[in-house]
Every structure is written in structure tokens, then in C-alpha cells.
Amino acid sequence: MLVKLFNTLLMLLVALSITGVINRTRAILAGRKGIRFMQHIYNVGLQLRKGAVYSPTTTILFRIAPCVYLGAALMAFLFIPIADLEPILSFHGDIIFVAYLLSLSRVAIVLAALDTGSSFEGMGAAREALYGALVEPALMMGMATLALFCGYSSFAEIFSTAQELNTNLTVVLLLVAYVFVIIMFIEAGRVPVDDPRTHLELTMIHEVMCLDYSGVDMAMIHIAGWLKNSIFAMIAANAVAVVICFHWWFAALLAVLGTGIAIGIVESLRARNKLVRNTTYILTIVAMSALVLLTGFLLIQNIEI
């Protein structure tokens, strides 16, 4: 039980640290001092002490959506191990359950945006639904590749033991990790798909759906975003650690520093895509994940490629 509790506390530390690493990386590359490492936590603390304001045009759906969004992300969060540490929750086939929980969180925030009746939030909801539908096959095929190599359908069992060092296996799992990092970019609404720093409603995707939220509700949305980021970052880090250095400290550091620095570099050196190019960008990741799954299947069958 202590191991499971340690895994959860370490996952929380990863979730809270990734945003700080992103902000520090962007500040260093821009030659600025930047904000405090934990400024995002301080901001959420302020929001938690404020009340929420609701438009009279919204229904109960708008009020419960942040709770569902956070609850689904938190439930999925509890299934993710750090290397060989055991998560609090685990059962056979939980990789599918986690995928459905992440989809539930997206549906909740999309329905809340539509409930406001705002044309801006409606556009953001439509884009979020489209990108979510397009990226979900990549997510499922990435999980299928992990299950194919390890022979299990549970995250705890998939990452329970280190894999033998094999060049083909290592390359495939590195590509799987890359797929999950790109999925993290898309799910979190980061550059190049979206820019969380923009203030132009016509081009916003994730942030525009939350324009009518404030106080505690906005804090829950931010916390859920941190949890979702840690889920994808840790799956990617575990896929690398399982064939290179299968220790919890290596996987945790890789999840925080690897994904945080990567996102910070991309946001500093690259502009966001035009909206018309986002679909092609996401479909490219889906095609790549399908190719990785096919390659993994052929390697498992000992077919020369």
C-alpha cells in the first residue's frame, strides 16, 4: 500500500512540475527571467478562494461539467504507474477504461461550451470535438502497441518488468513514446496545434471553451489539465524507461524534464499551425501510430521487414 501511495504522490509531483518546466524553458530561450517555477499553482490557489459566476442562459450542465472534467481526469490519473511502481487502481483491460475516461472529460467540457450559447465557444467546441475524434485512433493504437509487446492490457502489468534490450523493440517503443508526446500536445492545446497564450477567440480551441468559467470552476479545469498532461507524459516516459533504464526516478525525471523541455522548445521556436493544417497534422500522427503498430506486430511474428 505504501508503494501505491508513493506512486500517487510522485505522479502528483510530476503533474505539478511539468508546467513549471515549460515556463522556465520558454523564459530561458527568450532571454527573460520569467515567472516563478510554481506560479501556476499560486494562480490556481487564488482561483480556489474565489466564487464562481454563472450566466443565466446556462443550465446545470455548465455547472457540473468542471467536476466531471476533473473527476474523469483524476480517475484516469490513478491508473498510471511510474516504471515498476504500482498504481492505486488497476485491472485487466484498464487501458481501454482510461481512454474512455479521457474521452468523457473532453465530452464534458465540449457540452459545457455548447451550453453557453456563445458562437465563439461553439467554434472552439467543434474544433475540440473534431481533433479529439481524429487523435483517438492514435491513442488506441499506441496503447495497443504497448499491450502487444508486453502481453497485458493493464498499465500496471505492461510496465511491471523491464524488457530485454533489443534494437527493434527499443526503436518501436521510442516511436510509441513520441506518439504519446504529440498526443499530449494535441490534448493540452499546445503549439503547434493551439496556443494557450493567445487571446483571439476566432483561433482559440481549448481556452475559448472556458471563457465563461471563473473561480473554483476554472481552477478545476486547470488542475484536470495538469493531470492529463502527466498521464500522457508518464506513459511516454515509461515506454522509454522500460527498455533503457527501468527505475522510477528515471521515468519521473524523464516525464518532467523530457516533455516539459520539449514543449518549451517547440513553443519558443515554432509558430502554431494554421487551423486548416491541424487536421493534416493530426492524421499524420494517426498514420504514424498505425505504422508503429503494424511494425510491432510483424516483429512479434518474427517476420522480416
Instruction: Evaluate if pTM is beyond 0.85.
Output: yes
Give the residue numbers spanning the domain of 187: 2-20+50-300
Q: Judge whether 41 lies within some domain.
A: no
**Residue 35 within any structural domain of the chain:** no
Max CA separation in the chain (angstroms): 64
Reported as a single tens digit per residue, the pLDDT across 78-112 is 999 999 899 999 999 999 999 999 999 999 999 99
Residue keyed to cell 504500482: 86
Tracing cell 498526443 back to the chain, one arrives at: 183
In a domain, 164, yes or no: yes
Residue 123 has pLDDT above 60, yes or no: yes
Asked if residue 159 is part of any domain, the answer here is: yes
Q: What local confidence, expressed as pLDDT, does residue 232 receive?
A: 97
Is the residue at 167 inside a domain? yes
Residue 204 confidence (pLDDT): 84
Q: What is the mean pLDDT of residues 154-164?
A: 88
Whether 305 shows a pLDDT value over 60: the answer reads no
31 part of a folded domain: no
Q: Please indicate, yes or no, if residue 234 is contained in any of the structural domains.
A: yes
100: Cα separation from own chain's centroid: 14
**Whole-Å CA distances, 233 to 11, 149, 166, 257, 287:** 10, 20, 23, 10, 21
Residue 232 falls inside a structural domain: yes
pLDDT of 304 > 70? The answer is no
pLDDT at 301: 80
Mean pLDDT of the chain: 92
Q: What is the number of structural domains in the chain?
A: 1
Q: What is the percentage of the chain residues whose pLDDT exceeds 90? A: 76
